[in-house]
Amino acid sequence: MKRSSLGATVTSSPRDPLSFLPGVAEKLGHYVYALRDLLEDGEIFYIGKGVGERAYAHARHAQCVDPSKTSAQLKLTRIRAIYNAGLKVGVELIRHNLTNAAEALEVENAAIDVLKIAGIELANVVAGQGTDHGWRPLEEIMAEYAAKPVEILSEHRVLLIRLNRVQRLAAGDLYEKTRASWRVAPETHKPTWVFAVFGGIVRAVYRVESWDRPPEEKRAVNRAGRWDFNGVRDLPMEDLYLWRDVSGYLRRGAQNPITYVHC
């Protein structure tokens, strides 16, 4: 509270905790921000980008939307927990006055990647967009730029399975993603090995031990005629083929992810 030059008492408006101080937002330009959880010693749980009051938009949304009428989102759930505890969401500006949205996107993606490498789990639904040149395990990047074409030996009966996503999968997850569930004819072609292929590069080699139909409860109409294989990693075969380029065996533009070689 303060007095005007005429002696009248003027009550100053309290600062809105869900916005920047007046005049600040329009000077920030494009920026990248982090949200902190003050319930967890200020742990960062979300990275975003925007302009204006975007950094506070999530907290505003979490407070005004009925949680029973919205889909469960980790980000909003966490924000509500913070406010229910009588605290507020911490906001940090990682970069501001960036040239444009594209530059902000690059900074956002880099910040997300660094935190993931550090083992911090974020509430971001997706890790930004346009991340083809972002963080990946080093061996993947080396394979992309230096993988040499390989000829599959004629005595090796191989089924190549092209995957549409493989980055950051653990070994067990890669196996499960590769083994099921494909429209193949194992009794006719009798492949001995299955290669998990992504980007034309071999990511794993499995020796097939058996083939099974998917469990009945999983066999919808559109999965009829599909098979799962059971197998184990074949290390001697991986010495020959792992991180090698087999794109020469793949038909360019083909929709079918299955390719038989020497079968």
Give all domains of the chain, ordered by start, each with its CATH number. Answer: 6-117 (3.40.1440), 138-261 (3.10.590)
User: Mean pLDDT over residues 66-93, rounded?
Assistant: 80
* Per-residue pLDDT at 2: 47
Contact status, residue 30 vs residue 95, Cβ threshold 8 Å: no
Alpha carbons 18 and 43: distance in angstroms, whole number: 19
Residues in contact with 217: Cβ distance below 8 Å, sequence separation at least 6, in sequence order = none
d(CA 81, CA 87): 9
Over the stretch 181-195, which tens digit does the pLDDT of each residue have? 899 999 899 999 999
Most confident range (mean pLDDT) of 57-71, 79-93, 133-147, 231-245 is: 231-245
If we measure between CA atoms, which residue out of 54, 69, 65 comes closest to residue 18?
54
pLDDT at residue number 5: 47
Residue 25: band (very low, low, confident or very high) from pLDDT cuts 50, 70, 90 = very high
- In this predicted structure, the answer to whether residue 52 has a pLDDT above a threshold of 90 is yes
Contacts of 78 (CB under 8 A, 6+ apart): 37, 45, 123
Q: Is 30 helix (H, G, I), strand (E, B) or coil?
A: strand
Q: Give the model's pLDDT for residue 10.
A: 47
Where is average pLDDT lowest: 60-74, 133-147, 196-210? 60-74
Q: Measure the CA–CA gap between 37 and 107, rounded to whole angstroms.
A: 21
Q: Specify the pTM.
A: 0.59
Greater confidence, 236 or 127? 236
Lowest mean pLDDT among 110-119, 154-163, 166-175: 166-175
Q: For the residues 216-239, what does the mean pLDDT come to? A: 79
Per residue in 193-225, pLDDT (tens digit) is 999 998 899 999 999 999 998 876 455 544 567
Q: Judge whether 152 and 248 are in contact, CB under 8 Å.
A: no
Report the distance separating Cα 147 and Cα 227, nearest Å: 30
Look at residue 215 in the predicted model and tell me its pLDDT: 74
**Mean pLDDT confidence for 149-170:** 87
Percent of the chain with pLDDT over 90: 52
